[in-house]
């Protein structure tokens, strides 16, 4: 069931929250030895929460996983729990100091992809993506400063949404570099939208966050789409590009040929990341990063004057090997562009290439999160469950 269906069943009394939680814990215990997505389960805490739950919230009884090392006071956790969601533990993320962050690590094993256990689920929200794709939980939390919500959802064939910068408050407030957005990943687009709405709005720890974002009434029309197979120097794999072009051709959208010239992100992102993480930056480097951000915002504003949304591959490749963690892997280039600019971007499954999911990234103007989501809803492809999942014996 979706998170919304689960919550409706708990609210109606047709299923007990404890029963839902026990099913999720059982699935985690069965599949984690294959996929290594759990850093730590909190079975007793989840059971206690289920037993004392007042089944009235929008997410009543919905089990979810928390991204490892998320501060316990995070507004997103507080608000999901207040809405009735029940955390069952912490999911893996990239190993500290790793060369590449598109992996997960539980301290002993690298996290695997339920589509192919020889592949990585991506990162850094690795464990959450693997668990959601495998059907263990319908939702997981994460953060996105360079694609950490979108890259793993593309690799795992599910949904990741990075709202306009500031859409979801963060425990440390607004970062100096303005890169990181908290958010939710899920198996169902409507679940992700609902959870994002619940988590949105100013908080005492982040009073400068954007106003509360109600679940939008998404516009419907024939979307004008600009498609770019890459936004940087590295091309997308032929199979990835082919899947996206075929998906665009199969849906009722108008693909418009418009120019887009972006300044390279690789010069600005490290400087902004340093500022976000309290490391400081040279004044000249910070000014250059601001110039790049301003240039790209102007270029994208010109693009969005001609089209409704920009579509790219979420990742330039399908999931890579789980054991390539010491390599510098270029796959998420289309993602970090929109952390620097702060645009809303959602990744949805577009199909399969050689049996592995391909993610489609849909980007809209600042504040037009509902437009990105509405276009993504029309463009997304339905995928079957992966080979390793709760539906497979």
- Quick: pLDDT tens for 329-353: 889 999 999 999 999 999 999 999 9
Half-sphere exposure of 293 (CA within 13 A, CB side): 21
Residues 193 and 228 in one domain: no
Digit-coded pLDDT (tens) for 245-260: 999 999 999 999 999 9
Residues 187 and 231 in one domain: no
Digit-coded pLDDT (tens) for 279-331: 989 999 999 999 999 999 999 999 999 999 999 999 999 999 998 877 778 89
The mean pLDDT of 31-59, rounded to a whole number, is 98
- pLDDT on residue 153: 98
- pLDDT on residue 158: 98
Which listed residue (9, 67, 74, 353) is catalytic? 67
Site of tokens 């950490």 = 148
Distance (Å, rounded) from C-alpha 191 to C-alpha 187?
8
10 Å Cβ neighbour count for 26?
Answer: 13
Distance (Å, rounded) from C-alpha 270 to C-alpha 296?
16
Digit-coded pLDDT (tens) for 60-78: 999 999 999 999 999 999 9
- pLDDT on residue 223: 97
Residues 280 and 374 in one domain: yes
Distance (Å, rounded) from C-alpha 49 to C-alpha 72?
16
For residue 199, is pLDDT > 80? Answer: yes
Which pair of structure tokens corresponds to residue 137?
A: 């939980």
Asked whether residue 98 is domain-assigned, the answer is yes
Which listed residue (100, 124, 145, 353) is catalytic? 124
Distance (Å, rounded) from C-alpha 124 to C-alpha 135?
19
> Average pLDDT over the chain, rounded to whole?
96
The mean pLDDT of 13-27, rounded to a whole number, is 98
- Parallel, antiparallel, or unpaired: how do β-strands 38-41 and 86-91 relate? antiparallel
Least confident of 32-46, 63-77, 95-109, 348-362: 95-109
138 — phi, psi (to 5°)? -85, -15
Digit-coded pLDDT (tens) for 172-186: 999 999 999 999 999
Q: How many domains does the chain have?
A: 2
Residues 7 and 147 in one domain: yes
Which listed residue (148, 197, 229, 347) is catalytic? 148
DSSP readout, 3-22? HHHHHHHHHHTSS-HHHHHH
Residues 230 and 139 in one domain: no
Cβ atoms of 151 and 102 closer than 8 Å: yes
Q: What is the pTM of this model?
A: 0.97
Residue 162 is a catalytic residue:
no
Asked whether residue 219 is domain-assigned, the answer is no
The domain containing residue 325 runs over which residues?
A: 224-379
Q: How confident is the model at residue 371 (pLDDT cuts 50, 70, 90)?
A: very high
Cβ atoms of 44 and 121 closer than 8 Å: no
Q: Which residues pair with 97 in a beta bridge?
A: none
For residue 379, is pLDDT > 90? Answer: yes
Residues 193 and 231 in one domain: no
Distance (Å, rounded) from C-alpha 129 to C-alpha 186?
8
* CATH number, domain with residue 129: 3.90.1300.10
For residue 392, is pLDDT > 80? Answer: no
Residue 261 is a catalytic residue:
no
For residue 367, is pLDDT > 90? Answer: yes
Residues 173 and 295 in one domain: no
Q: How confident is the model at residue 393 (pLDDT cuts 50, 70, 90)?
A: low
Residue 148 is a catalytic residue:
yes
Least confident of 27-41, 55-69, 95-109, 194-208: 95-109
Q: Using alpha carbons, list the distances in angstroms from residue 27 to 30, 32, 91, 277, 281.
A: 5, 8, 14, 36, 45
User: Residue 177, by phi and psi: left (phi above 0), alpha (psi -120 to 50) or beta?
Assistant: alpha
Site of tokens 């990162």 = 123
126-149: string of b/e by CB count within 10 Å (b at 16+)?
bbbbbbbbbbbbbbbbbbbbbbbb
For residue 115, is pLDDT > 80? Answer: yes
- pLDDT on residue 280: 87
Last residue of a domain, one of 139, 165, 199: 199
Residues 192 and 52 in one domain: yes
Last residue of a domain, one of 199, 232, 267: 199
């Amino acid at each position: 069931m979706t998170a919304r269906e689960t919550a409706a069943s708990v609210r109606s009394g047709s299923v007990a929250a404890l029963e839902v939680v026990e099913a999720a814990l059982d699935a985690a215990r069965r599949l984690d030895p294959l996929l290594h997505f759990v850093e730590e389960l909190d079975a007793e805490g989840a059971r206690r929460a289920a037993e004392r739950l007042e089944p009235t919230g929008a997410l009543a009884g919905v089990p979810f996983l928390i991204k490892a090392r998320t501060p316990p006071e995070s507004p997103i956790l507080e608000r999901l729990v207040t809405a009735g969601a029940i955390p069952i533990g912490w999911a893996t993320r990239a190993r500290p100091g790793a060369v590449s962050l598109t992996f997960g690590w539980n301290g002993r094993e690298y996290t695997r992809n339920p589509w192919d256990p020889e592949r990585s689920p991506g990162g850094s929200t690795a464990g959450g993506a693997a668990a959601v794709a495998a059907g263990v939980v319908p939702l997981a939390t994460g953060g996105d400063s360079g694609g950490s919500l979108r890259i793993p959802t593309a690799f795992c064939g599910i949904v990741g949404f990075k709202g306009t910068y500031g859409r979801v408050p963060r425990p440390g407030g607004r970062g100096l570099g303005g890169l990181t957005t908290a958010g939710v990943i899920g198996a169902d687009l409507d679940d992700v939208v609902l959870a994002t709405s619940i988590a949105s709005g100013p908080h005492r720890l982040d009073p400068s966050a954007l106003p509360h974002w109600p679940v939008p009434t998404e516009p419907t029309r024939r979307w004008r789409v600009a498609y770019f197979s890459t936004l940087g120097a590295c091309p997308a794999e032929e199979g990835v590009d082919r899947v996206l072009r075929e998906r665009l051709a199969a849906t009722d959208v108008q693909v418009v040929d418009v120019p887009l010239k972006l300044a390279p992100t690789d010069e600005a992102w490290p400087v902004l990341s340093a500022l976000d993480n309290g490391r400081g930056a040279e004044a000249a480097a910070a000014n250059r990063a601001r110039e790049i951000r301003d240039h790209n915002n102007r270029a994208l504003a010109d693009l969005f004057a001609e089209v409704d949304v920009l579509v790219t591959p979420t990742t330039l490749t399908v999931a890579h090997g789980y054991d390539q963690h010491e390599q510098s892997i270029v796959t998420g280039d289309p993602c970090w562009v929109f952390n620097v600019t702060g645009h809303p971007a959602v990744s949805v499954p577009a199909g399969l290439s050689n049996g592995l999911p391909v993610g489609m990234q849909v980007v809209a103007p600042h504040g037009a999160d509902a437009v990105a989501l509405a276009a993504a809803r029309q463009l997304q492809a339905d995928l079957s469950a992966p080979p390793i999942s709760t539906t497979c014996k």
